[in-house]
């Protein structure tokens, strides 16, 4: 069965071949361009992309709890069950203390008495006790129930996330009216597609954070359920909530934590994940998509035309004829190639097998060169893509810089507008404040002058009345009117004192009003000062913001310039490395060309030695003679190189022979020294005679070495003479 990815590869391969086959056809190209350029605004492809966010609380709690659940399972708690049964003595495999006690109580099992007292007493039946381990205890059953619940808890969430994230949704709308001189086509397509378990989305699903941890937890729970303990416990009846908290579940750390995990997942009522949908719309299509869809529409138009006119058989026949022609052309071309190959083999005077070996070696060399060139091309393409990406990033950074400059200009305009507005408002408020203070001062002064004038008038009127009354009283009798005069004086004084008190009170009230007015004036002045301070503070804050924005802008610009310089340096390094690699490859190519020239020279030498140079190999022309000269130079270079190696090897061999002879001479000297020591002990009188012999023994190998060195010089002279003779030949 072909997988979805392999099917996509087949579709793409077939579609690529289809587009290449119609690439050079003018009519098809014209129709495709008309389709692509018509009603572009109606083209749209919509896809839904999902982002999954998993709540890590429940994942973390399950991870921590499973460690203790595993330890609890490994404890393998069990209950030993004892069962007894009376069986014939032949079936009794083992006995115990309980068997003896039971037999002592049941003597009726002994029916045969032994004939001799020394014989053993053998009963007919015995009580046998069997002890069996029962793993279906309450705590193990709780673990099994909790693991099954945890398995379902994880599986439900994992399946929903996988089903949602691996489902592909897409929709395409297309509505075109193509009008050409000889053709009118109306295209209307509404296409929706939904694919489950899409391979590309599966890879994205695996990259979701915490998915690996959840799947690991799920498989770990399954592995715990497949343990022998849980398989035996699964045969017992399943526990049902509520869970009875036994001493083990309360006191044992592993079981206590397992119970806490069960309580957590039983009370967890949230999904534990959420999806964010994003609708991606491609409208209008990009150039590649528009071209591909135009190709598919042209293909659909052809299939409709073929079916409507019923020309399938004719097209199949024509296809068979074209295939036969193509096969015949291939066969003729192959025959011509075989003829040329036979001619070359005959000219080379080699067997078919030898020629094939040479061709295979040549093909291997060409394949190596092709692989190297392909790698170089691939590296060049990658470097060009990197350069393109860097240029795009530089363009984006420049656009961001321009946008930031625009924002800064807008902020500057707002700042100037606000500062001008604040200054004008401040001047207007100061003028209003001055006018208000002047008006209040004028009103206060008018009020004081009016009150003083009224007070003066009242005092003048009272004095005038007082004088008139005194004059009238003086006209009467002094005696009769003295008392009245005193009374009138007292009354006048009282009235004047009362009026003066009233006037003083009025003056005090006016002074209080004056003080109140002064307080109001001070409060208004303070308010104006506070408003001015607020405005100044607002202006200062705004100026700080502007300064910070300008500072951030300068920092970003410096960062961008630094990044651009780094990118330029990286581009220079890449270009330098690329140029070095190209130089290396040029050197390798030159080396291969020289080797080829040397091989051709060898081939010509072999032909000359075998006498197979005919008139066909004419080297009198300029081009052929230059080619022959290059081959000769390559051969001379190889000859010099190899001759240097042979001289070094000859010298090395001669030196090794000298070293071996020297080692032999030293061994002989050591033997002579041992003999001399022995003779010196026996014959002390002969020491003087043995010393000159030692000198002679020491001198002899030196003479030999000198001779050998002379021989080496002679050999080297002969070898150089031979090499010069060979070069002259």
Q: Cβ-count burial of 472 within 10 angstroms (0-12 exposed, 13-18 middle, 19+ buried)?
A: exposed
Q: Give every CB contact of residue 42 below 8 A, 6+ residues apart in sequence.
A: 173, 174, 175, 176
Token code pair at residue 655: 């030196």
The better pLDDT of the pair 491, 447 is held by: 447
CA distances from 173 to 168, 187, 382 (A): 17, 10, 36
- In whole angstroms, give the CA distance from residue 235 to residue 226: 13
pLDDT band at 693 (very low <50, low <70, confident <90, very high): very low
Question: Which residue matches tokens 């209950």?
Answer: 79
pLDDT band at 257 (very low <50, low <70, confident <90, very high): very high
Question: What confidence score (pLDDT) does residue 160 get?
Answer: 92
Question: What confidence score (pLDDT) does residue 440 get?
Answer: 77
The better pLDDT of the pair 658, 109 is held by: 109
Whole-prediction pTM: 0.42
Question: What confidence score (pLDDT) does residue 145 get?
Answer: 92
Please check the confidence at residue 261 and state whether its pLDDT lies above 90. yes
pLDDT band at 552 (very low <50, low <70, confident <90, very high): confident
pLDDT band at 263 (very low <50, low <70, confident <90, very high): very high
The better pLDDT of the pair 525, 556 is held by: 556
| Residues 130, 133, 134, 137, CA torsion sign | positive
Strand pairing report for 184-195 and 125-134 = unpaired
Question: What confidence score (pLDDT) does residue 675 get?
Answer: 63
Question: What confidence score (pLDDT) does residue 703 get?
Answer: 37
Question: What confidence score (pLDDT) does residue 121 get?
Answer: 74
What string of DSSP letters covers 601-615? Answer: HHHHHHHHHHT---T
Mean pLDDT of 205-229: 89
The better pLDDT of the pair 490, 103 is held by: 103
- In whole angstroms, give the CA distance from residue 56 to residue 43: 42
Q: Which residue, 267, 269, 268, 266, is CA-closest to 145? A: 266
Question: What confidence score (pLDDT) does residue 539 get?
Answer: 67
Question: What confidence score (pLDDT) does residue 299 get?
Answer: 85
CB atoms within 10 A of CB 214: 22
Least confident of 242-256, 641-655, 679-693: 679-693
Q: Cβ-count burial of 58 within 10 angstroms (0-12 exposed, 13-18 middle, 19+ buried)?
A: buried
Mean pLDDT of 375-398: 85
Question: What confidence score (pLDDT) does residue 185 get?
Answer: 87
Question: What confidence score (pLDDT) does residue 147 get?
Answer: 93
pLDDT band at 723 (very low <50, low <70, confident <90, very high): very low
Please write the tens of the pLDDT for every residue from 36-92: 888 888 888 899 888 888 888 999 999 999 999 999 988 877 655 556 778 888 877
Please write the tens of the pLDDT for every residue from 123-133: 888 887 766 56
Least confident of 154-168, 196-210, 568-582, 597-611: 597-611
- In whole angstroms, give the CA distance from residue 300 to residue 319: 19
Question: What confidence score (pLDDT) does residue 109 get?
Answer: 80
Please check the confidence at residue 155 and state whether its pLDDT lies above 90. yes
Q: Is the peptide bond before 242 cis (omega within 30 degrees of 0)?
A: yes
Please check the confidence at residue 689 and state whether its pLDDT lies above 70. no
Q: Find the Cα–Cα–Cα–Cα dihedral 471, 474, 480, 482, rounded to 10°.
A: 80
- In whole angstroms, give the CA distance from residue 368 to residue 585: 12
Mean pLDDT of 418-434: 76
pLDDT band at 716 (very low <50, low <70, confident <90, very high): very low
**What strands lie across the sheet with 184-195, from one edge to the other?**
184-195, 168-179, 44-54, 273-282
Please write the tens of the pLDDT for every residue from 312-339: 888 888 888 888 888 898 888 888 888 8
- Percentage of residues in the chain having pLDDT higher than 90: 9
What string of DSSP letters covers 398-412? Answer: HHHHHHHHHHHHHHH
The better pLDDT of the pair 659, 427 is held by: 427
Please check the confidence at residue 303 and state whether its pLDDT lies above 70. yes
Highest mean pLDDT out of 407-411, 433-437, 450-454, 725-729: 407-411
Please check the confidence at residue 214 and state whether its pLDDT lies above 70. yes
Question: What confidence score (pLDDT) does residue 152 get?
Answer: 93
What rounded mean pLDDT belongs to the chain? 76
Please check the confidence at residue 482 and state whether its pLDDT lies above 80. no
pLDDT band at 698 (very low <50, low <70, confident <90, very high): very low
pLDDT band at 691 (very low <50, low <70, confident <90, very high): very low
Please write the tens of the pLDDT for every residue from 503-530: 667 667 766 766 666 676 666 556 655 5
Strand pairing report for 168-179 and 125-134 = unpaired
The better pLDDT of the pair 436, 678 is held by: 436
pLDDT band at 309 (very low <50, low <70, confident <90, very high): confident
Domain boundaries, the chain: 49-78+135-283, 354-607, 622-728
Least confident of 152-156, 639-643, 718-722: 718-722
Question: What confidence score (pLDDT) does residue 349 get?
Answer: 77
Q: Give every CB contact of residue 158 below 8 A, 6+ residues apart in sequence.
A: 214, 215, 218
Q: Which residue, 282, 275, 296, is CA-closest to 170? A: 282
Please check the confidence at residue 484 and state whether its pLDDT lies above 50. yes
Question: What confidence score (pLDDT) does residue 69 get?
Answer: 92
């Amino acid at each position: 069965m072909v997988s979805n990815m392999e099917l996509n590869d087949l579709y793409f391969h077939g579609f690529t071949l289809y587009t290449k086959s119609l690439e050079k056809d003018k009519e098809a190209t014209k129709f495709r361009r008309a389709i692509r350029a018509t009603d572009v605004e109606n083209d749209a492809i919509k896809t839904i992309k999902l982002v999954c966010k998993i709540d890590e609380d429940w994942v973390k709690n399950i991870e921590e709890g499973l460690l203790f659940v595993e330890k609890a399972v490994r404890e393998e708690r069990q209950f030993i069950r004892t069962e007894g049964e009376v069986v014939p003595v032949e079936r009794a495999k083992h006995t115990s203390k309980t068997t003896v006690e039971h037999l002592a109580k049941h003597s009726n099992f002994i029916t045969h008495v032994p004939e001799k007292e020394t014989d053993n007493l053998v009963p007919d039946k015995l009580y046998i006790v069997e002890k069996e381990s029962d793993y279906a205890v309450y705590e193990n059953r709780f673990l099994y129930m909790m693991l099954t619940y945890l398995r379902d808890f994880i599986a439900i969430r994992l399946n929903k996330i996988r089903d949602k994230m691996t489902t592909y949704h897409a929709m395409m709308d297309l509505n075109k009216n193509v009008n050409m001189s000889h053709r009118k086509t109306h295209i209307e397509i509404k296409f929706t597609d939904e694919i489950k378990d899409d391979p590309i989305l599966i890879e994205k699903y695996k990259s979701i954070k915490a998915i690996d941890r959840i799947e690991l937890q799920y498989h770990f729970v399954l592995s715990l359920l497949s343990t022998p303990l849980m398989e035996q416990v699964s045969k017992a009846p399943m526990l049902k909530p509520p869970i009875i908290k036994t001493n083990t579940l309360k006191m044992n750390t592993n079981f206590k934590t397992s119970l806490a995990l069960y309580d957590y997942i039983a009370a967890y009522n949230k999904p534990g994940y959420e999806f964010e949908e994003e609708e991606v719309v491609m409208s209008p299509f990009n150039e590649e998509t528009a071209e591909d869809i135009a190709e598919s529409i042209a293909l659909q138009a052809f299939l409709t035309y073929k079916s409507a006119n019923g020309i399938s058989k004719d097209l199949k026949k024509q296809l068979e004829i074209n295939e036969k022609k193509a096969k015949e052309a291939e066969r003729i071309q192959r025959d011509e190639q075989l003829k040329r190959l036979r001619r070359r083999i005959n000219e080379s005077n080699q067997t078919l097998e030898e020629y094939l070996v040479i061709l295979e070696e040549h093909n291997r060399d060409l394949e190596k060169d092709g692989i190297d060139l392909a790698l170089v091309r691939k590296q060049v393409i990658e470097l060009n893509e990197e350069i393109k990406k860097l240029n795009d990033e530089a363009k984006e950074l420049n656009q961001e810089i321009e946008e930031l400059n625009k924002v800064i200009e807008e902020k500057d305009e707002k700042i100037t507008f606000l500062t001008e507005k604040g200054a004008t408002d401040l001047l207007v408020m100061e003028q209003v404040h001055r006018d208000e203070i002047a008006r209040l001062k004028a009103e206060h002064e008018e009020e004081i002058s009016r009150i003083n004038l009224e007070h003066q008038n009242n005092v003048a009127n009272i004095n005038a009345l007082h004088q008139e009354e005194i004059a009238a009283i003086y006209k009467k009798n002094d005696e009769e009117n003295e008392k009245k005069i005193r009374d009138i004086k007292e009354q006048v004084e009282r009235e004047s004192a009362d009026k003066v008190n009233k006037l003083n009170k009025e003056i005090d009230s006016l002074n209080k009003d004056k003080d109140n007015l002064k307080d109001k004036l001070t409060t208004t002045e303070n308010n104006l000062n506070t408003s001015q301070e607020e405005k100044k503070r607002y202006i200062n804050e705004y100026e700080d913001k502007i300064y910070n924005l300008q500072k951030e802008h300068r920092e970003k610009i410096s960062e961008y310039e630094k990044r651009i310089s780094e990118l330029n340096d990286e581009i220079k390094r890449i270009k330098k490395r690329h140029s070095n690699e190209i130089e290396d490859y040029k050197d390798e190519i030159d080396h291969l060309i020289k080797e080829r020239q040397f091989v051709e020279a060898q081939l010509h030498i072999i032909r000359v030695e075998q006498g197979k140079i005919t008139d066909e190999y004419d080297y009198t022309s300029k081009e052929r003679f230059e080619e022959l000269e290059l081959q000769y130079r390559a051969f001379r270079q190889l000859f010099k190189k190899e001759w240097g190696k042979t001289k070094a090897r000859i010298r090395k061999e001669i030196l090794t022979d000298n070293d071996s002879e020297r080692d032999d001479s030293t061994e002989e000297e050591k033997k002579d020294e041992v003999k001399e020591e022995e003779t010196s002990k026996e014959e002390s009188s002969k020491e003087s005679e043995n010393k000159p012999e030692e000198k002679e023994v020491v001198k002899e190998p030196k003479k030999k070495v000198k001779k050998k060195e002379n021989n080496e010089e002679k050999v080297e002279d002969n070898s150089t003479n031979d090499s010069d003779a060979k070069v002259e030949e």
